[in-house]
Amino acid sequence: MEIKTILEEFEVIAKDPVTYLRNLSENGKKIVLYTCSYVPDEIIWAFGFHPARVLGISETHQLSNSHLQPYCCPTAKAVLEDILSKKLPAAHVVFSNTCDTMQRVSDIVRINTDLEHFDFMVPTRLDSDTSKKYLREQILNLAGFLKRRSLLLEQDRECFDDVSKINSAMELFERIYRSVLKLAEIAQMSNKISNKDMHNIFFASAIMDREDLAKKIEQLNDCIKESTISNSVKKKIVLTGSLCCFPGIYEILDNAGAKVVYDDLCSGIRPYKRRIKLTGDWAYDIAKSLLERPICAAKFKGLFERILYLKDIVKKYRAQGIIFLVPKFCDPHLFDYPDIKKEMDVPVLLLETDEKNQIKGPERTRIEAFLETI
Amino acid sequence: MNMEYKKEPIKTKSKMKEIMTNYFLEAFDAKNKGKKVAWITSGGPVEPLIAMDIIPIYPENHGAMIGASKLGEKLVSYAEGLGYSCDLCSYATADIACSRGEKGPIGHLPEPDMLICCNNICSTVVKWYEIQARYFNVPLFILDTPMCHTNFTEDTKEYVRRQFDELFLFLETVCKKKMDFDRLEEVGRLSVQAQKLWQEILDTTTHSPAPMSAFDAFFHLALIVTLRGTEICVNYYRELLEEMKDRIKNKICAVPNEKYRVLWDNLPIWYKTKWLSEKFAERDVCLVADTYTSAWCSSLRYIDENDFLGSLAPAYTRIYLNQGIDTMANEIIKMIDKYKVHGIIMHSNRSCKPYSFGQYDIQKIIRNKTKVPVLIIEADMLDQRSFSDAQIESRIDAFCELLHS
C-alpha cells in the first residue's frame, strides 16, 4: 500500500470520526467514550469494548452553553457538546479528573444523560508510591466497572479470562505506542509526512479500531523506510499545550515550511510516550506506565518537571521555537506559560483560541511573523 | 422602618481587627522568634501546623483583603504584565503580583518557609503554589484530595490518610522536630470547638429578622480560616455567639425591615460587599445564609472529636466544593429549608471555576425541587473590571420584583 493511501485513510477518520464510530457501532461494536489521555484505553479494549476518545469535535456549543458559562474553555464545551448531542454512538463514558472544568463537565454529563458513567480518578500528585498505589486501585475499579458491563455482553461467561485478555490488550497497545513513536521520529525528519498528516494520525488513533491502527502504523513505517528520508526542514517547531483547539495550525506551519518536530499536545505524542512492561501485576504495570509518561500541566511531579521536559525536547530536536497552543480559559497551561517562556532558550509564542478551530487574522499573522523571526 | 427592630454595628468586630493585626505582626516577626511560616490554602489542614508552632498564612485571606481594599484590578493588571492571563484566578494572580513587589493592603505577606497546598477547593491552587514554590525556592507539599463526585470511597480515604502521614513527615523535616501527636489532638479539639461555634453563629440567622447577614459572616469568617485550632479563635467565636444571642433578645438585626430572606452562593464580591449590602437592605432583603462561609463547618459531621487524627482524611476531603453538583444542590436545598429562604443569588465568579461551573444545573435542580427563584450574577471576587453596577442593580431589581410577586 502506498503512503498516500494510508494517510488518506487517517485523514478521513480524523475529519469525520462520527461516521467511523457509527459504522463500528452498526457492526456490533460497543463503544466506550473517554475524555482524557490518562484513561487507560487498553482496559476498555481488553473487556471487549471499543475505546473512543471524546476530542471535542463540535464547532458550535448550542447545548453546552446552557450548562457552562461564557468563561469556560472552548475545548470543555466542545467535549460536552459532543456528548450531549449524542452524535457519538455509545452507552458508557469514562471521565477523568483532568482539571476543575472537566470535573464539572463530568457531573453535568452524569446528571443530564443516560450514559453509564465512571469517574476515573488520577492522582494530581504523580510523585509518590502513595499515588501509584491509589492509581492502581482506580485502574482495578475501572476494570470492575467494565467487567460488569462486559459480562452482560459475553456469550459464554465461563470463557472470560481477565488476565489473558488484559495482557493481550497491553501487548497490542505497547505495539501501538512503539510504532507511533517510531513514526513520529521519522516524520520529524521527513517531507513525506506533513504536519497535518501527523496530526491526522494522532487524532484518528484515539478513535480507530486499535488492531487496525497497529497494522496501519506499521505499514506506514515500512513504506517510509523504503522511501528517502530528507532532512531539509527549514524551521523546527515544538508544539505544546492541551488538546488541539486549532487543527488549522498544522496547515499554516506546512505552508510556511515549518516542521513540528515534537507535538507535545494532549492530542499529539504525549499519550503515546508510555512503555508497558509486564511484571505479572497488570494494574500496577499500567499505573506505572501512566505515572512515567510526560505529565499534563494539570498534574504535579516536581516543581520543574514540565520546564525541564520541554527544555530537553527543544535541545534533543534542535527546535528553534515553541508554539504554546491553548484554548482560552485553560488554567493549567496558562499558569505554566510565564515560567516556561522565561526558562526556554528559544522564542515562545502563546496562541489562545476562544472558539474551536477559530484563529482570527491577527493570530495567523502572529504565527507567520513568529516563523519569520526564528 | 420597623420601629420594633433596630440596626446596630456588631461590637465584636473591633476585636477581630485587633486579633488580625497581632497575627500579622507575629508572622512578620517569625524569623526573629525562630518560628517557621507556612503559606496554606484556605481549605488546607491547618491543625498540624498549629501543633508544630508554625505560623499559617493564607494568601486567599490576603486576596479577600486585596478585594476589600479595591486593589484587585491594579494587582491583576500587574500580573498580566508578567504573562499571567487575566482569565486566571484573581486571588492567584494578585498574590503573584504582591510577591513580585507590587504593594497590597499590608504591603506584602510574610515570606514563606514552606507551602502547603490542598486541592479540596480547586486545582488552581496546585498551579499557583507550584509557581510560588519556585519563586521563593521553598518546599511544597500537596495534599491531593480526589473529588467525591458521588461517594467517598475507602480507597480515597486510605489515599488521603497516607498523605497525612507524609505531611507530618514533611513538617518534621522542615522544622527539624517531631510532631507532638497529643498536642495535635488538643489542637483538633479546639478546631472542632471553633467550627461548632461558627455553625451556631451562622444558625442564629434562622431567626427572623436575622441578627446578622451573610455580609457580616464574610467578615467574621477570617478567624475560622486562619486561626482554627487556637484558643483565640474559640474565645472570639464564643463572644460573637453571645453577642448574636443578645442581639436577638434585644431586637437588633441586620435589616430591620427584613421581608425577604436570600441565600448567597459562591465567594463574595469583596470590593462590592458594602454596595450590595445597601442595595439589598434598601429592598428589604437580607442575605441570611451562604454556601461559602458555611463551608468551614460543613465537614463537622465527618469528624470524631475523640479521634481527630483518624478524622482528618474525611474531614478534608468531604467538603462542600469537593463533591458533585447534584450533592451541592441538595445541600443548598437543605439550607433553603433551614434558613427559610425566599430566593437565591448565585455569584457566577469568573475566577472560581469549580464553584461556578455547574451553577446552571444547580439552578435547574433547585427550581425543579423547590420553586425558589434563583438569580445568577456574573462578576469576579477581586477584579472590579468584571462588575457592572448598572447591569447588576437592574438584575437585582428584577429578582426582587419576583420575590414580591
User: Per-residue pLDDT tens for A278-306?
Assistant: 899 999 999 999 999 999 999 999 999 99
B367-to-A68, A280, A292, B340 alpha-carbon distances in Å? 17, 53, 46, 15
Summarize the confidence of residues A233-249 as an average pLDDT: 88
pLDDT tens per residue across span A167-218: 999 999 999 999 999 999 998 888 889 999 999 999 999 999 999 999 999 9
User: Collapsing DSSP states into helix, strand and coil, what is residue B37?
Assistant: strand
- What is the secondary structure of A233-272 as a DSSP string? -SEEEEEEESS-S-THHHHHHHHTTEEEEEEESTTTTGGG
**B267 within a domain of the structure (yes/no):** no
pLDDT tens per residue across span A68-83: 999 999 999 999 999 9
**B170 within a domain of the structure (yes/no):** yes
**B61 within a domain of the structure (yes/no):** yes
What chain A residue is nearest to B157 in terms of C-alpha separation? A134
Closest residue by Cα to residue B109 from B143, B136, B142: B136
**A160 within a domain of the structure (yes/no):** yes
Domain that holds residue A154: 3-167
pLDDT tens per residue across span B174-190: 999 999 999 999 999 99
- The owner of cell 491552587 is B125
**A210 within a domain of the structure (yes/no):** no
CB contact under 8 A, B89 and A331: yes
**A130 within a domain of the structure (yes/no):** yes
**B287 within a domain of the structure (yes/no):** no
User: How many domains does chain B contain in total?
Assistant: 1
Residues of A numbered 308-367 whose beta carbons fall under 8 angstroms of chain B's beta carbons: which are they? 328-329, 331-332, 334-339, 341, 352
Does residue A247 surpass a pLDDT of 90?
no
Summarize the confidence of residues A322-328 as an average pLDDT: 95
Distance CA B382, CA B97 (A): 13
Does residue B356 surpass a pLDDT of 90?
yes
Q: Rounded mean pLDDT of chain B?
A: 96
Does residue A231 surpass a pLDDT of 70?
no
Question: Which pLDDT belongs to residue A146?
Answer: 95
CB contact under 8 A, A108 and B361: yes
> Does A219 lie at the interface with B, CB-CB under 8 angstroms?
no
**B130 within a domain of the structure (yes/no):** yes
- Asked if B350 and B379 count as a contact pair (C-beta separation under 8 A), the reply is yes
User: How many domains does chain A contain in total?
Assistant: 1
Question: Which pLDDT belongs to residue A233?
Answer: 61
Closest residue by Cα to residue B286 from B217, B349, B351, B225: B217
Which amino acid makes up residue A306? Answer: R
User: Collapsing DSSP states into helix, strand and coil, what is residue A337?
Assistant: helix
Q: Which residues of B touch A287 (CB under 8 A)?
A: none
Domain that holds residue B60: 13-180
Summarize the confidence of residues B118-147 as an average pLDDT: 98
CA A373 to chain centre: 30
Which amino acid makes up residue B377? Answer: I
**B35 within a domain of the structure (yes/no):** yes
Question: Which pLDDT belongs to residue A225?
Answer: 73
Closest residue by Cα to residue B396 from B281, B268, B258: B281
What chain B residue is nearest to A100 in terms of C-alpha separation? B354
Does residue A94 surpass a pLDDT of 70?
yes
pLDDT tens per residue across span A113-136: 999 999 999 999 999 999 999 999
DSSP A159: G
- Band (pLDDT 50/70/90 cuts) for residue B3 is low
Distance CA B142, CA B130 (A): 9
Question: Which pLDDT belongs to residue A189?
Answer: 84
**A63 within a domain of the structure (yes/no):** yes
**B264 within a domain of the structure (yes/no):** no
B387-to-A245, B219, B272, B285 alpha-carbon distances in Å? 29, 21, 9, 21
Summarize the confidence of residues A28-56 as an average pLDDT: 96
- Asked if A373 and A347 count as a contact pair (C-beta separation under 8 A), the reply is yes
Buried-exposed string B281-291: b where 16+ CB fall within 10 A, e elsewhere: bebbbbbbbbb
- End-to-end alpha carbon distance in chain B: 21
Question: Which pLDDT belongs to residue A360?
Answer: 66
How close is the nearest chain A Cα to the Cα of B82, in Å? 7
- Band (pLDDT 50/70/90 cuts) for residue B405 is confident
Summarize the confidence of residues B209-221 as an average pLDDT: 97
How close is the nearest chain B Cα to the Cα of A363, in Å? 17
Q: Rounded mean pLDDT of chain A?
A: 92
Summarize the confidence of residues B21-46 as an average pLDDT: 96
CB contact under 8 A, A134 and B357: no
- CATH number at B65 reads 3.40.50.11890
Does residue B55 surpass a pLDDT of 80?
yes
Closest residue by Cα to residue A23 from A292, A208, A236: A208
- Band (pLDDT 50/70/90 cuts) for residue B301 is very high
Does residue B68 surpass a pLDDT of 60?
yes
CB contact under 8 A, A130 and B166: yes
- Asked if B134 and B105 count as a contact pair (C-beta separation under 8 A), the reply is no
**B161 within a domain of the structure (yes/no):** yes
What chain B residue is nearest to A352 in terms of C-alpha separation? B85
Summarize the confidence of residues A210-238 as an average pLDDT: 84
- CATH number at A149 reads 3.40.50.11890
Q: Which residues of B touch A97 (CB under 8 A)?
A: 146-147
